[in-house]
Amino acid sequence: MRDGKADIAVLVSGGGTNLQALIDAQTSGILTSGRIRMVISSRPGVYALERAKAAGIPGYVVSRKELGSPEAFEAELCRLLDENGIDLIVLAGFLSILSADFTGRYPERIINVHPSLIPSFCGEGYYGLTVHERALAYGVKVTGATVHFVNEVPDGGRIILQKAVNVEEGDSPETLQRRVMEEAEWVILPRAAELVSQELVGKEKEQ
């Protein structure tokens, strides 16, 4: 914790639209109790790393493929996070499932955004367009996004914020995905990062 702010690492795997929402929130003053100190990608060459570079945030690649095992992958993640004194880990389109050993090291200090209203359309295998395909197949009229703490159960941690989004006539998985991102994910992820950062800063002051 530096300058009275929680130190945040954002973990990504792709284009980084949720990362951009966090960067924009930091610029606009929505995210003030925490500061993004680093971005870690599970894949090289993704656009999220360009977004980090443009914002002056150090970017790193930790590739499970190159490291050869989930254990080596998580060990390298832990090394980077601990060396940089990270207080809060934000999963923003991060596609690797983290083990109980990893999540247990950072209790209620890892948050994730999921593109549905948990407990609907969540758990193992529910990510990306699959979530919206299932929502449309089921015929729901309202979907949305959830930010939750991460524990050993996929999408199983305590809910922090949710926001509903209407399903519209003629929606495709792609159009619904975009609306959920714009109207829900990009709104509640920065708010949740601020809420949790506030809590962490408060606890630090109490000690």
Which pLDDT tens digits describe the chain residue by residue (207 residues)? 888 899 999 999 999 999 999 999 999 999 999 999 999 999 999 999 999 999 999 999 998 888 888 899 999 999 999 999 999 999 998 988 899 999 999 999 999 999 999 999 998 888 889 999 999 999 999 999 999 999 989 889 999 999 999 999 999 999 999 999 999 999 999 999 999 999 999 887 776
Angle at 90 between CA 203 and CA 105, to 5 degrees: 60
Q: Are 146 and 118 in contact (CB under 8 A)?
A: yes
DSSP 8-state symbol, 117: -
Active-site residue identified among 51, 109, 114, 148: 114
Residue with tokens 């809420």: 195
Residue with tokens 């729901």: 140
pTM value > 0.85:
yes
Residue 44, token pair as written in the block: 């090289």
Which H or E run contains 71? Answer: helix 70-83
Among 75, 97, 79, 85, which Cα is nearest to 7's?
A: 85
Dihedral sign for Cα 195, 200, 203, 205, please: negative
- Catalytic, 148? Answer no
> CATH 3.40.50.170: does it fit domain 6-206?
yes
Neighbours of 89 (CB within 10 A): 23
> If you count them, how many residues does the chain have?
207
Q: Which residues contact 107 (CB under 8 A, 6 or more apart)?
A: 151
The SS3 call for residue 63 is coil
